[in-house]
């Protein structure tokens, strides 16, 4: 399973703009810093499982829901947030909320979940964000 998933994801990153994970597209377009090596796995899993709803595009389901909920008090895209704790990330992944159903261990393993939590709580500069996204996240932080 892992071997295949890894292969598929590598393909997605190579092709950049052709895939739907918007954070991948955004990163490619802006020629941004690479994600820190220790968070590469976390970003990979995040892009695969989370970014399709929680990516930077405003119209995505999770991003739109968090924008509606927080009204800009915190960035709506998860990868731009600096206030997340691993326990919170893990709670929502395994328990779901509103329309987001929980994710099973056959989808997101405990190791993958720890990697996602690590990625979402890493310093912003280590997340491989576009310059634009980084500025947005830092602006929101002030």
Q: Using CB under 8 A, which of the segments 31-39, 77-85, 95-103, 113-121 binds another protein?
A: 95-103
* Among positions 64, 84, 124, 136, the unique one binding another protein when judged by CB under 8 A: 64
Report the chain's terminal Cα–Cα distance, integer Å: 42
Cα separation, 1 vs 128, whole angstroms: 26
* Structural Rg of the chain based on CA atoms: 14
Report the half-sphere exposure of 53 (CA within 13 A, side-chain side).
Answer: 10
Nearer to another protein, 87 or 98 (CB): 98
Question: Interface with another protein includes 114 (CB under 8 A)?
Answer: no
Question: Interface with another protein includes 91 (CB under 8 A)?
Answer: no
Cα separation, 8 vs 10, whole angstroms: 5
Nearer to another protein, 68 or 142 (CB): 68
Kindly state the smallest distance separating residue 117's Cβ from another protein, in Å. Answer: 17
Cα separation, 107 vs 59, whole angstroms: 24
Residue tagged 């987001």 (tokens): 100
* Among positions 72, 73, 87, 106, the unique one binding another protein when judged by CB under 8 A: 106
Question: Interface with another protein includes 135 (CB under 8 A)?
Answer: no
Cα separation, 123 vs 71, whole angstroms: 23
Q: Using CB under 8 A, which of the segments 33-41, 77-85, 105-113, 127-135 binds another protein?
A: 105-113
Q: What angle do CA 87, 92, 95 make, to 5 degrees?
A: 115
Q: Which residues bind another protein (CB under 8 A)?
A: 1, 4-5, 7-12, 14-15, 17-20, 25, 48, 52-53, 59-62, 64-65, 68-69, 94-96, 98-99, 101-107
């Amino acid at each position: 399973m892992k071997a295949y998933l890894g292969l598929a994801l590598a393909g997605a990153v190579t092709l950049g703009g052709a895939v739907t994970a918007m954070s991948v597209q955004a990163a490619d377009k802006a020629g941004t810093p690479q994600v820190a090596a220790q968070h590469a796995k976390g970003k990979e899993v995040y892009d695969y499982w989370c970014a399709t709803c929680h990516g930077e595009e405003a119209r995505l389901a999770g991003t739109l829901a968090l924008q509606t909920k927080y009204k800009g008090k915190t960035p709506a895209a998860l990868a731009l947030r600096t206030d997340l704790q691993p326990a919170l990330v893990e709670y929502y992944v395994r328990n779901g909320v509103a329309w987001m159903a929980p994710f099973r261990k056959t989808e997101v393993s405990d190791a993958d979940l720890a990697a996602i939590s690590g990625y979402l709580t890493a310093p912003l500069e280590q997340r491989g964000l576009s310059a634009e996204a980084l500025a947005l996240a830092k602006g929101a932080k002030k």
